Amino acid sequence: MQAHIEVLLPEGEALARTEQHGSFRMRHAIPGDEVSIEPSEKKRGIAYATIQHIVTPSPLRIEPACPVAQICGGCALQMLSPPAHATIKSAWVEHAFHPAISEQTEWIPAEAADMQHASFLRRRVRWHVQQQGSAVVLGFRGFQSHAVIATSKCMVVTDALNHLRQCLETTLSEVEASLPESVYAVQLEDGIHVVVEYEKKTFTPPVLSDTAMPTVQWWQRSGKSLKPLNRPVFNLHDLLPTARGTVAIQVGPEDFVQGQKHGNHQIIQQLLTWCQGERYVVDLFSGVGNLSLPLAASGMQILGAEVNDASVRVANANAKRLKLSASYQQADLFQRFDITPFVGADLLLIDPPRKGARHICRLLPRLLPKKLILIHCDVASAKIDAQEILSHGYRLKSLKALDLFPFSGHVESMSLWEL
């Protein structure tokens, strides 16, 4: 059966149309491809297919740089020409916010990622661990599979994290013991937090002989317990831009940070532009203050709220250490909570997880912020939140797309709203 690939959808699946059998979704297809396909399954009323062979390749199709691109579940767009990534991802954001976009809306499309520059690579990663023959492999799982994909180097993560993974593979292959389930690592300005999920006994960290490797702080998680494996414990920091220079905030092993350093700085710089002249900012889903502490260091007063107790403690400790006018509270922002302290902000900043912030958006008539900035990591939830905000009389002043995970089907958005 022959099909024409019309468009790439968010998350990286392609939509193909046939003359007699309707539409199908599939992976590793590029807009403009003419392909021969084999129907595979239906899920929730959506028909899927696999590519048998490419009849006529799209002008946007390239040979993947990654040797495991066809089987790894980590990247969905390895076959797409890099200059097209930002254009297509920007279109996803425009489509999600289309009902709210007017002639007065400032539109800022995503910039192309420079994968030759370390700040565009992923600095945060979770590797699954698996025994394969006599070797132990750390990596991403295959698409719709539990198999961990072996590769000598992952092209989307930093060199330091690649080296760390190789050291762990060597060490674990030499140990006659049960393996950890996964390893989480986040590279910060002055070192790397590594959290090993290991239930059986105390994990022995490998000796990293490479003097070029950053400081590594090892941790072990067993159930709800998290303990350091090397002492003294290194406090690690992220260096963030402010209107007056930079500020270093302490980040714990499981505190959220953006996966790409350049993208995180992009978000903060845009916030500084949009927040210029504001005095009082409420930050919901504040984490460790990644977004609002740079605003506080630029002269604004901050009140934040976050569900995670540990992140709230770290955020307040950062504010105290830096002598900033910022304080943070614990609150479950997906349930009913006391909104009294958060009413009447000059600007309300919301950076929710993937499921969005519809509950918060419904509270806008009571929260009454003069301005509103939302940061979304999922265009589907962004579309729902945008419709809710629009219904309360706010208008979309500016919209920005960000490609923080190059080669993936992931896109982020920032939107500025005013009454």
* Enzyme catalytic residues: 377
Of 96, 416, 381, 166, residue with least CA distance to 271: 416
Q: How far is CA 117 from CA 30, 120, 152, 288, 301, in A?
A: 26, 6, 20, 26, 34
Residue with tokens 């809710």: 388
Strands (DSSP E) contained in 109-204 are: 124-132, 135-139, 182-188, 191-197
Distance from C-alpha of 212 to C-alpha of 90, rounded to nearest angstrom: 37
Q: How far is CA 80 from CA 110, 153, 255, in A?
A: 16, 20, 33
Residue 416: strand, helix, or coil:
strand
Distance from C-alpha of 399 to C-alpha of 26, rounded to nearest angstrom: 30
Of 72, 56, 63, residue with least CA distance to 12: 72
Residue 140: strand, helix, or coil:
coil
Q: Which residues pair with 220 in a beta bridge?
A: 196, 227
The distance from CA 372 to its chain's CA centroid, rounded to whole angstroms, is: 21
Q: How many CB atoms lie within 10 A of CB 396?
A: 22
For residues 257 and 186, the answer to whether their CB atoms sit within 8 Å is yes
